[in-house]
Structure 1
Amino acid sequence: MSQNLDVRVAQGIARGVRERGIEAWRNLPYAEAPIGPLRFKAPRPPVPWAGVRDASEFGPVPWQSLQGHFVGASKKQTMSEDCLTLNVLRPAGSVGGGLPVMLFIHGGAYAVGSSAEYPRNGEALVRDGGIVYVSINYRLSALGYLDFTRFSTPERAFDSNLGLRDQVAALEWVRANIAAFGGDPNNVTVFGESAGGNAVTTLMATPAAHGLFAKAIAQSAPTNAIYPPEQTHRWADEFVAFLADRIEPGGVETTSVDDAGDLLARADASDLVEAAVSLTLLAPDRDPGTIALCPVIDGDFLPERPLKAFKHGRAARIPLIIGTNDREGSLFTGRLDILATTPPRIRAIFSRTKKKARKAIKAEYPGLPDKRPAADFAGDYAFWYPTVKVAERHSRYAPVHFYRFDIAPRLVRQLGFDATHGLELFALFDRMNGWFGRAMGALGGRRAFMRTGDRMRRHWIDFARSGQVAGWPEYDEETRATMIFDKTDRVENDPRSARRVAWQEFVPHV
């Protein structure tokens, strides 16, 4: 192992590895392990280590369920509450510094996933773009995205927005240490997909994160999945009931704040994440259109709804790429059905608006509530329309580039998914050479899909370098220029304008 892979960071010396033209450092702690009395507490600075730390392998992944709505971790991966680590990749043989930095936040409904879920993520960006790539773990499920502050007492405090605070702590670590890896701490682009996209837009509205990154990319973000305390406190009560019944059916009293706090403190992490599955199964029908594991508007760390911050220019005024895939909702069927896809859920959402607006929106989804139009309605409600609102509001204060990802391999189209939620990750991260990518391309369309990924990746790299993208006009409320990623990329002004206008009347509060 080459000595030049020893890098000194604030906590000590880390020894990386060289592989496939990439130099990698993995499992670097950016915060103290949130275990014991630090469970449900805001992250603290990492503890220094003695000697040289082996940074060649990924660390444990955050605790998550292996049988819930989503399945992220492999049974072979070690799960631990001691998971607040990140990974750094750079081009092999890098000399000097000043490289642009791209920090990726993984998705997974804030319930599953990790920085090791796809171990080779980022390598194509590093090789093609000469950038420094950072990927992070953060607390998930009940350990990171349920609000237990109502159970706080003078003796035991529960902090809010733990996963969001973890992401800020990771960005702070990058600001302090990334120059040691050749990265420019003043040129950090944060990007993420799905829940990771929600994290990006939420970080832009989080005062503690301002100044820690210079540009942002939000892919398929459910940007409005942020809830007030009156909602999150009710979910906390329901969660504790599920947890109590799981630990000792019929035998655990949780009627007081102290009882609930004791239960949360002593519960096994596995019981916490499995109880969260019960809650997330309940939420789509109890509260249609919501996702139970999400940030909370706590009035402090996250002072307001991000959409409100974007409206009034209080979000970080930095360049933004934002967009969605053509048919986001088609993925959410069967075990993954957490969106407003069923007739009762759709009726509940329709009850919140006026009859004229309901009629206009139904005209945009002929056949509703049949399966295909229901999936498109639900996907647009959760992902596309809130994304439009972020783009138009942020464009008043900073440059915005808006996109829609339309291409899909032939087999994916024949199965009825089309360009569904998460598909662009296979293009962007050059995943089509893996077994799943090759299976998707078995009936054709693989090469065209990969070429689109090459072009998309080049745009992301150019944006990370300079904040600009060639041939892609900025978005504004007059022209609404949108890059359509397809076999042949094109720019369209205000695609699906009639649908956008119908949504404006349907959910004017967004």
Structure 2
Amino acid sequence: MAPIYRREFLSKISLATVAISIPQFGFLQSGRGEEFVETETTLGKIKGARNDGVNVFKGIPYGGKVSGDRRFRRPAPLAKWTGVRDALEFGAPAIQSPRRNEPTPSEDCLFLNVWTPANDNKKRPVMFYSHGGGFVIGSGASAGQDGGNLARNFDVVVVQTNHRLGLLGFLYLDELGGEQYAGSRNMGVLDIAAGLKWVHENIAQFGGDPNNVMIFGESGGGAKTSCLYAMPEAAPYFNKASIESGPGVRMLSKETAAKTTAMLLKELNISRNNWKKLLEVPTADLLAMQAKLPFVPPFQERNSKRGTMQGRLGGFGPVVDGIVLPTHPFDPGAPAISKDKPLLVGWNEDEYTFFAWERKDTESFKMDFDGLQKKLEPQYGQDTQTVIEAYRKASPDATAPDIFVAISSITMMGLGSIDIAEKKTKQNGAPVYLYNFGYKSEKKIPGTDYAMGTPHAMDISFKFNNEIPPRDGSAPKESFFGGNRPERFVASHHFAELWTTFARTGKPAAKDVPAWPAYNLKDRPMMRIADKCEVINDRYSTELAMWRSIGKL
């Protein structure tokens, strides 16, 4: 099995009352007994549905046409509408393979969804989530990230967007297309910034505070959040952020992005002078071509002890263009533009077990230490023994598979998260809080006797408080990753309360959870989130000293 490079996961996964009458909205009853709610937006009136104490508005357009002559460009302006527009069904996700229980993907995909306890001008904190799936797949309608329980149980407003992905959202044409195509390689994150602007202009009508907005995201959504944290166009519209299992320290250079564009044109047999033929290529053909290109996420990685930067061709995602994304999000330091914005950052303890499940990797859980040496050598070369010895010293009772999972997990998500926490701390601005999610699922990786533990993406349903007992008192169903143990409900409540309190105040806190100190370079505190939460100082000290010694941190 080929090694999974740091953040390579970003391109490979697809992840999941009584009505009050006030002037801004009113409830309606359908002939079937459904309860609807209407509210105003800057473009016209919309109708959503009220479900168990939460108003839900789906498929609200926040940007216009991005197909045809608008492909690879800023969206066309949206026209105001008359009458009442239904916001009862999710909008189309970006072009990708069809998604179960969602609309057919479409090039025109700029829609957002809102969950709110009430449209009552209460000025609740707003939690604006960017979905995972790298920069190539995903949607704001995935079931595991349903915002209803966060809104219902913690009195917040939740917003999620669909936005352009892959080749259509991140193809670098700035040097070919001129002013009309400026920022083309960053259209996907510019779409998200446009969604944030919509929130600023409209969220008060949904009971949210436009001046108290938290951006957050997991996996690819964490990398998107990293970019937003460094983007001037997004800066006026949020106050705090959380980067979860997707530390976007560095993005792609213009030079490497231009080479990827040249590679695409060659594959399509289109000359540079005729690049506008890209506007005529059917989306299905573009999607097929995207899959043919080297399937590597756009990022730059430090080249071991030499500390140089190395770009890797292929993949589609944000580029450091000096304008939309002026610098790498967290290299050489934390972005000055967000110096005063509090930050959460962290990862799951057993990230790799997700990829074992996804890749049907069973061999990694049968190997001994000789096998571990052979498995790691292609990635770590002469440093392999140093890496293994550090982990055996730190965890003397760990098996070879245990150590493989630990190494793979921290190099995917942990080292970048710690790098971000350290750089944010050195900035001497707003605080940063470092976490590990550690609740252990007893579910086994198929074909093995090895438990999933805390795999990549398991945190989604936990932080959205979607790990709760059924409200009707029936027996709980097994969680997809989280397993059957009832302790998962406690862990989910802790996670959700920590995040919603951070959204409200800028400092994470929860009942029955120890005080969470901001990260500092002396004690290096980390919150381990589970059914029993604890603060651990200088966690992974032996392992991190080794990673620093070989130039990986």
- Is 1:393 the counterpart of 2:429? The answer is no
8 Å contact kept, 2:391–2:543: no
- The residue aligned with 1:363 is 389
Q: What are the Cα deviations for residues 270-322 of structure 1, in whole angstroms up to 9, with x where unaligned?
A: 221222122253679x9999682321111111011111264464444211111
Match of 2:94 in 1: 62
Change (3 A) 1:443 1:133: closer
- 1:274 counterpart = 2:288: yes
Instruction: Pick closer, same or farther for the CA change 1:158–1:454 going to 2, 3 Å.
Output: closer
Structure 1: how far apart are the matches of 2:91 and 2:315? 27
* CA–CA separation in structure 2 for the residues paired with 1:337 and 1:261: 41
Structure 2: where are the runs of 5+ without partners? 1-25, 29-35, 302-309, 365-371, 394-399, 471-475, 510-514
Q: 2:319 aligns with which of 272, 290, 296?
A: 296
Preserved CA contact (<8 Å) 1:330 1:420: yes
Encode CA deviations 1:354-383: one digit per residue, 9 max, x unaligned. Answer: x6x66543434569xx87655543432231
State the shift of 1:157 in Å. 6.4
Structure 1 equivalent of residue 330 of structure 2: 307
**Are 2:466 and 1:431 aligned?**
yes
Following superposition, the deviation at residue 388 of structure 1 comes to 0.4
Q: Could you tell which deviates more after superposition, 19-28 or 374-383?
A: 374-383
Q: Which residue of 1 aligns with 2:305?
A: none
Q: d(CA) in 1 for partners of 2:289 and 2:481?
A: 39
Please, which moves more after superposition, 34-43 or 314-323? 314-323
Structure 2 CA distance for aligned equivalents of residues 200 and 495 of structure 1: 25
Distance 1:235 1:41 in 2: 18
TM-score norm. by structure 2 comes to 0.79
2:496 to 441, 457, 465: 457
Deviates more, 1:230-239 or 1:180-189: 230-239
Amino acid at match of 1:391: A
2:217 pairs, out of 185, 192, 195, with: 192
Structure 1 residues 231 and 332, CA gap change in structure 2 (3 angstroms):
farther
Structure 1 unaligned regions, length at least 5: 67-72, 245-252
CA deviation profile, 1:8-60 (whole Å, cap 9, x unmatched): 11111111111122111111111112111111012354332222111111111
1:258 aligns with 2:273: yes
Q: Distance in 1 between matches of 2:250 and 2:479?
A: 30
Q: Deviations over 1:99-158 (max 9, x none)?
A: 111111100111111111217611111011111111111111111133233442578767
Alpha carbons of structure 1 residues 489 and 359: separation in structure 2 relative to 1, 3 Å:
same
1:312/1:225 CA distance change after superposition, 3 Å: closer
Q: Which residue of 1 is the match for residue 530 of structure 2?
A: 486
Q: In the alignment, which residue of structure 1 is the partner of 2:241?
A: 216
CA shift at 1:222, angstroms?
A: 3.3
Contact kept? 1:412, 1:440, Cα under 8 Å? no
Q: Which residue among 62, 73, 82 is the counterpart of 2:108?
A: 82
Which residue identity does 1:276 align to in structure 2?
Q
Q: Please say if 1:171 is aligned against 2:206.
A: no
How far residue 448 of structure 1 moved from its aligned partner, in angstroms, is 0.7
Instruction: Say if 1:138 and 1:167, in contact at 8 Å, map to a contact too.
Output: yes
Q: CA deviation at 1:507?
A: 3.1
Q: 119, 141, 153: which is aligned to 2:166?
A: 141
Count the aligned residue pairs: 482
Give the TM-score normalised by the residue count of structure 1. Answer: 0.85
Give the counterpart letter for 1:272 in structure 2. Answer: L
Give, in angstroms, the shift of residue 445 of structure 1. Answer: 4.6
CA 448–119 in structure 1, closer or farther in 2 if over 3 Å, else same? closer
Partner in structure 1 of residue 344 of structure 2: 321
2:206 maps to which residue?
181
- Show the 5 A alignment for 1:378-389: 378-389=408-419
**2:141 paired residue among 98, 111, 116:** 116
Distance in 2, matches of 1:442 and 1:172, equals 35
1:384-424 C-alpha deviation (Å, 9 max, x unpaired): 10110111111232111111011122114754432111111
Q: In angstroms, what is the RMSD of aligned CA positions?
A: 3.4
State the one-letter code of the partner of 1:394.
K
User: For residues 246-265 of structure 1, what are the alpha-carbon distances to aligned partners after superposition, in whole Å with 9 as ceiling and x for unaligned?
Assistant: xxxxxxx32x2133431x21
Instruction: Provide the secondary structure at the position in 1 that maps to 2:535.
Output: strand
